Structure 1
Amino acid sequence: MNESLCIRNVRTPGSSEPMDMVINEGRIAAIAPGEAERNRTLATVDAEGMWVIPGLWDCHTHFTQWSYTLGRLDLIGASSAHEAMDMLRDHLSQLRSEGRLDPNRFVVGMRFRHSLWADDEQPTLAAIDEASGDQPVALSSADMHCGWVNSVAARMLGVQVGESGLVGELEWFDAYCRLDNAPGADEELDRLLREAEHDAASKGIVGIRDYEMAENIDTWIGRFAKGINGLRVQSGVYPERLNQAIDDGWHTGDELPGSNGLGHVGAMKLISDGSLNTRSAYCSTPYSGIEPETFGTMSYTPEQIESYMFVATKHGFDIACHAIGDEANTIVLDCAERTKAHGSIEHAQMLKPTDIPRLAQLGLAASIQPQHAMDDRDVIARFWGRPAGIPYAFRSLRDAGTRLLMGSDAPVAPLDPWLAISAAVFGTESSAREPFQPEQCLDFGTALASSTAVGRKCLKAGDAADLVLLDRDPSAVDSPEEMRAMPRHVQATMLAGRWTYRK
């Protein structure tokens, strides 16, 4: 049971006036000067002038896969296939020395970014077979839209690979999910989930939207039953599981049993097209520098997308529709308009100018991942050299009245709202590099509000007691380096009136 208490001497971003905040039954009962004096019987915490902000949300995660990054080989730093294989050899050597290699268990790596590697440094089956031998190895790309596997893993997963060793999109989605059912995976995952929740709380995170490719509803009911309860969770449902969810009586917003109000059913997550890094996002103009000419691919036909949206909307589900290429976004918006679907467009990564105002007109939010713009700015120059749309149109969407929801798409980018806020505000990861599309940068207040459940930068009486105490005013930060370092200034995180992190 959450105790009633008063947090004294807190300040809101941009303000020097100290206030007191009364917490009762998991909600903010009052926030104003002098509340500590009026509530002298309550337990008191003196914040000593720290700044308080609403608890942060990551509105697009694959939480299981993010948790695995805390225990799997991370290849994000590899700048070539050769370097990635050196990292794999070192990882295998370490596992071997620790007695943790089992020829019947996959060694899994994540987040290689071959879209930026030179043409003669691309993945090959020969290279990964030479580095791994008889040990099954499966590596996932940074955007999770393809995998690089050795011959042993390909046989175990039942996938066909050519000279590249790459497994494409939909086949990889299915194969990657099967890795989670390998021997010993359950025990490893429970440990990593708890570690990931603690890591999230240390950054001020109180909630996530989880779009893991799994039976998310039952999965999170089971996790809450085990006491994995450090976050609020909205659990998405994929189209292939939508009818079962409907038959089971679920709707978006329903509370998950045993979650004590922390878990709810989320939206139907539908992936309409591919990704930029795999050159499969569906565009109206061809990719530059690619032969033979390609426009990307759709994962479903427009008729299928419309049908899924219709069924979801009819049965009380929001949509969360992945659309990256400009043509995919047009198709998805057309389907949403015809079905009167509500929810969000996930990524909305490149939009035709005529489509930018349509999200607000249709009542759809734009679920954006600003760190992707930092990761992709050089890829955009390489493969979207002749775009028909505007990539990462954050400011244009906001100016059109669209509600912005910010996230990471973890593990594609780290689960860290401060990275997203920094990327959205400064448009660069380093003060030494010019901003990417400075005209699309957001002000701090908008970026922070878009990273919260309340949609504003300050808490009010009646809000859930989800909050973060900081020893620095984030609104006064004036460089990307300092904003990205803000997790170091998180002193405490509270979820529904209980501390989930105290430094």
Structure 2
Amino acid sequence: MSSTAGRRRPGDDITICGAILGPTGPTVDVHVADGRVAEIIPGAHAGTSGRRVDASGKMVLPGLWDAHVHMVQWATARRRIDLAAARSATHAADMLANALRARQTPPHAGEVVVGYGYRDALWPDAPHAWLLERAAPGIAVALQSADLHTAWLSPAALRLLGRPEHPTGILREQECFDAMAAFVGVEPDLLDQWVLEAAAAAAARGVTGILDFEYADTVADWSRRAARGRLPLHVTCSIARELLPQALDLRLRTGRPVPGAEGDLEVGPVKLFTDGSLNTRTALCDEPYPPSHPGALAAADAGSGHAAMGYAELVDTMEQAAKGGIEAAVHAIGDTANGIALDAFEHVAGSGRIEHAQLLR
């Protein structure tokens, strides 16, 4: 169904006629009043008031929800060089060079060329700053992996970051997050425009709501966007760990509306990390990672991953949040990390969720 079907739009009175309900039917008419499904009427073309839309042969489904999105990341990724098809570090550098040659104008002074989407865990060669220098001499380049946990920087980008002596140009975890935040800085008004355009694109494909885990003050950011006008979809705003005290002071509660947002925004969980990611080899695992290219194990902190938050700290933070009515969303990818997260949920005995849970025993 259209993303407007689940949103209140006073005065709407529409009947979607002759639609197939779900993958196997039956054929029904769907009456939408004030932006909500008011009635599902068996049989096609039943008599109802208001505007009628012929949907014969088309399927009608509930609105879709994206339960884990980084909206600023996606909005900016739509304007970046896509490296998802790269089969090696050399191939990724060649794709970068080709994309720059295809541009109508070269990068201007001070511009950082941003790419995304590569997966280097199984590449036969290692990414390195000199490969980017060869592909784009003198140009500041910042490439972010598909899992968002690794940044691959050119020498010019490292100089902008104040780290010209970095040996490889590969930054992981918090260093990556900080670098990409510095490089993709966009004026707030323009960034809000990009995010709203991305939200509208998602809504046009049937997405009616998202849970935004962006690394930012999502409550404040989405409140500012909502002040521009009606949002194209419903947004649940996660709370960054460092903003938990502020959220508790403001008496924000998971599942409650964000004050002043007219129902478009809802308070979500606090996001907590126990480890990193598999591609970056920082997911915390019981067994060490096998080498894929020279230096891979050394780059992954002794080979078994990275503990972003230990059990005691995780429990303490979850208990603090739970006392204030805020649930936890715990990022856990490796099997060790998932064990820590499950043990913490058992101890706290509160509701919440594990994000990803990719490697389980």
Structure 2 vs 1, CA of residues 245 and 16 (structure 1 numbering), >3 Å: closer, same or farther? closer
- Paired residues of 1:177 and 1:213 also in contact (CA < 8 A): no
Of 99, 105, 112, the match for 1:98 = 105
Mapping of 1:433-448 within 5 angstroms? none
Distance 2:112 2:230 in 1: 25
- Paired residues of 2:155 and 2:164 also in contact (CA < 8 A): no
- Paired residues of 2:27 and 2:43 also in contact (CA < 8 A): no
- Ranked by relative contact order (alpha carbons within 8 Å, sequence separation 6 or more), the top structure is 1
Distance 1:251 1:167 in 2: 35
- C-alpha deviation, 1:248, in angstroms: 1.9
Of 315, 325, 330, the match for 2:324 = 315
For 1:61, the aligned partner's letter is: V
What is the aligned partner in structure 2 of residue 330 from structure 1? Answer: 339
Distance 2:25 2:244 in 1: 50
Mapping of 1:343-382 within 5 angstroms? 343-351=352-360
Structure 2 vs 1, CA of residues 304 and 257 (structure 1 numbering), >3 Å: closer, same or farther? same
- C-alpha deviation, 1:209, in angstroms: 0.9
Identity of aligned residues (%): 37
Of 111, 117, 125, the match for 2:117 = 111
What is the aligned partner in structure 2 of residue 70 from structure 1? Answer: 78
TM-score (norm: length of structure 1) = 0.64
Of 15, 18, 22, the match for 1:9 = 18
Distance 1:271 1:33 in 2: 48
Mapping of 1:256-275 within 5 angstroms? 256-257=258-259, 259-275=261-277
Distance 1:74 1:270 in 2: 28
Deviations 1:287-329 (A, max 9, x none): 2347566211111122211111111111111111110111111
Distance 1:13 1:215 in 2: 37
- Paired residues of 1:22 and 1:35 also in contact (CA < 8 A): no
Q: Indicate the larger mover: 224-233 or 316-325.
A: 224-233
Distance 1:48 1:143 in 2: 41
- Residue 156 of structure 2: SS of its match in structure 1? helix
- Paired residues of 1:237 and 1:267 also in contact (CA < 8 A): yes
Deviations 1:34-63 (A, max 9, x none): 696453x32222211321111111111111
- C-alpha deviation, 1:76, in angstroms: 0.8
- Paired residues of 2:145 and 2:151 also in contact (CA < 8 A): yes
Q: Is 2:314 the counterpart of 1:305?
A: yes
What is the aligned partner in structure 2 of residue 123 from structure 1? Answer: 127
What is the aligned partner in structure 2 of residue 246 from structure 1? Answer: 248
Distance 1:350 1:277 in 2: 12
Q: Indicate the larger mover: 209-218 or 106-115.
A: 106-115
* Structure 1: 5+ residue stretches without partners: 352-388, 390-503
Structure 2 vs 1, CA of residues 260 and 320 (structure 1 numbering), >3 Å: closer, same or farther? same
Distance 1:50 1:69 in 2: 32
What is the aligned partner in structure 1 of residue 95 from structure 2? Answer: 87
What is the aligned partner in structure 2 of residue 177 from structure 1? Answer: 181
What is the aligned partner in structure 2 of residue 490 from structure 1? Answer: none
Distance 1:34 1:84 in 2: 54
Structure 2 vs 1, CA of residues 248 and 261 (structure 1 numbering), >3 Å: closer, same or farther? same
What is the aligned partner in structure 1 of residue 3 from structure 2? Answer: none
Mapping of 1:385-464 within 5 angstroms? 389=361
Structure 1 or 2: more helix by fraction: 1
Q: Is 2:68 the counterpart of 1:60?
A: yes
What is the aligned partner in structure 1 of residue 148 from structure 2? Answer: 144
Paired residues, what number?
A: 345
- C-alpha deviation, 1:159, in angstroms: 4.8
For 2:87, the aligned partner's letter is: S
Mapping of 1:144-163 within 5 angstroms? 144-159=148-163, 162-163=166-167
For 2:140, the aligned partner's letter is: P
- Paired residues of 1:177 and 1:214 also in contact (CA < 8 A): no
CA RMSD, aligned part only?
A: 2.2
Structure 2 vs 1, CA of residues 91 and 191 (structure 1 numbering), >3 Å: closer, same or farther? farther
Distance 1:324 1:333 in 2: 12
Distance 1:346 1:149 in 2: 28
- Residue 350 of structure 2: SS of its match in structure 1? coil
- C-alpha deviation, 1:148, in angstroms: 0.5
- Paired residues of 2:65 and 2:210 also in contact (CA < 8 A): yes
- Paired residues of 2:237 and 2:266 also in contact (CA < 8 A): yes
- Residue 147 of structure 1: SS of its match in structure 2? strand
For 1:196, the aligned partner's letter is: A
- Residue 175 of structure 2: SS of its match in structure 1? helix
For 2:83, the aligned partner's letter is: L
- C-alpha deviation, 1:169, in angstroms: 0.9
